[in-house]
Amino acid sequence: MWPLQVFNRCPMHDSRLAVAGCIEHERLTFELLEVRTRGQYLTRLRSISTEERAEWDRRERAALAQLVDHELEHGCGR
């Protein structure tokens, strides 16, 4: 049978631990969402310059790359 582990003082199977979540994965997902949301709000407030757009794109790509790297390294993607 499956080996039991403990999460939040509750016994859980290994397969359920991945569903419980990875704190780092959640942080990186939130960071990506935050970058995207800030950029969307900024473009709604005013038109942005080419340099600002390039910086926003760079930040979004960097946040996405960190999330993908983490998922590949730890296998905790959903």
pLDDT tens readout for residues 45-75: 889 899 999 999 999 999 999 999 999 988 8
Is residue 8 domain-resident? no
CA distance 57 to 29: 16
Number of domains in the chain: 1
Is residue 43 domain-resident? yes
Amino acid letter, residue 39: G
Is residue 7 domain-resident? no
Is residue 1 domain-resident? no
Is the pTM for the entire model greater than 0.75?
Answer: no
Using alpha carbons, select from 13, 11, 10, 17 the residue that is nearest to residue 1. Answer: 13
Is residue 33 domain-resident? yes
Domain span including residue 67: 22-74
Task: Specify the residue for token string 């979004």.
Answer: 60
Amino acid letter, residue 76: C
pLDDT band at residue 5 using 50, 70 and 90 as cut-offs: low
